[in-house]
Amino acid sequence: MIELISVSYGYNDSEDVISDISLTINDGEFLAIVGHNGSGKSTVAKHLNGLLLPRSGQVYVNGLLTSDEESILTIRQNVGMVFQNPDNQIVTTVVEEDVGFGPENLGIETPKIWERVDEALELVGMTEFRKRAPHMLSGGQKQRLAIAGVLAMHPSIIVFDEATAMLDPKGREDVIAIMKDLHAAGKTIVMITQHMEEVLLSDRVIVMNAGRIAMDGTPTQIFENADKLRSMGLDVPLPVAIRDKLNASGMNIPASVLTLDSLADEIEKRLSR
């Protein structure tokens, strides 16, 4: 569990980038944090494992304070983080050695490191590439490798900081599938994103605007307020936009319809009546 208690942060002496953020991320949750560029969503993400320390307020990870130097390694082992640019998070020159980088830092005994490496590579489907050099991989494969590197540390919470933003559609699909698998396996997932379609994966959405939490709810609740989202520079997924237009012209499609398939079903139901 991660608890942010009225967290504010700003770079140097400048104005706050985020201010007065209070947020509890529960175990097993799939949380999406969305927001326009500069809304402070990535700044919030970097507070979750102590990469940034709040200017005021506190962040607790499983009861440990991130500003406490003694617990920072435990916190970072617990909260894995996958970043946007896959190239800039791979440290060594061989795939399997990169996966072992985290466990090496944790001081795990050698045979156990290899067990973890095998397991993590299997989880992201990269076992066949284990002897490759990272620069020979595609963007999606590199990002899967980065996820494996995080998984090898056995975290309970994984933060994806716009991890799909630089990938091609196939790579994005692969990474999203892994996110789903990990969530199903009981990991807490925090996904920072600009893609409103990806938000549908989550069971809770935080919308950030100008450094503050503007909305907090399930995807259904959030997308009921399409106008409010648009005013913050965010779009709604296409099925939601179609749904709202149809509803405006008199169709009564329930707010829980968010995907193309369920929308098609609803329209079919009405047409066949």
> Rule CB under 8 A: which residues touch other proteins?
46, 49, 51, 73, 76-77, 80-81, 83, 85, 87-94, 96-97, 100-110, 113-114, 117, 133-136, 146, 149-150, 153
Q: In whole angstroms, how close is the CB of 194 to other proteins at the nearest point? A: 18
Q: In whole angstroms, how close is the CB of 223 to other proteins at the nearest point? A: 32
Q: In whole angstroms, how close is the CB of 190 to other proteins at the nearest point? A: 13
Alpha-carbon distances, residue 58 vs 126, 160, 237 (angstroms): 38, 22, 34
Q: What is the largest CA-CA distance in the chain?
A: 66
CB 120 within 8 A of CB 159: no
Instruction: Tell me what percent of the chain is helix, strand and coil, each rounded to the nearest 5.
Output: 45, 20, 35
CB 183 within 8 A of CB 157: no
Nearer to other proteins by C-beta: 62 or 220?
A: 62
Helix and strand numbers (H, E) in the chain are: 12, 10
Two tokens at 196?
């409103």
Nearer to other proteins by C-beta: 136 or 255?
A: 136
Nearer to other proteins by C-beta: 81 or 179?
A: 81
Nearer to other proteins by C-beta: 2 or 207?
A: 2
DSSP, residue by residue, 121-165: HHHTT-GGGTTS-GGGS-HHHHHHHHHHHHHTT--SEEEEESTTT
Nearer to other proteins by C-beta: 100 or 219?
A: 100
Q: In whole angstroms, how close is the CB of 258 to other proteins at the nearest point? A: 32
CB 35 within 8 A of CB 232: yes
Nearer to other proteins by C-beta: 105 or 259?
A: 105
Q: In whole angstroms, how close is the CB of 146 to other proteins at the nearest point? A: 8
Q: In whole angstroms, how close is the CB of 230 to other proteins at the nearest point? A: 32
Q: Which residue has the tokens 């450094």?
A: 211
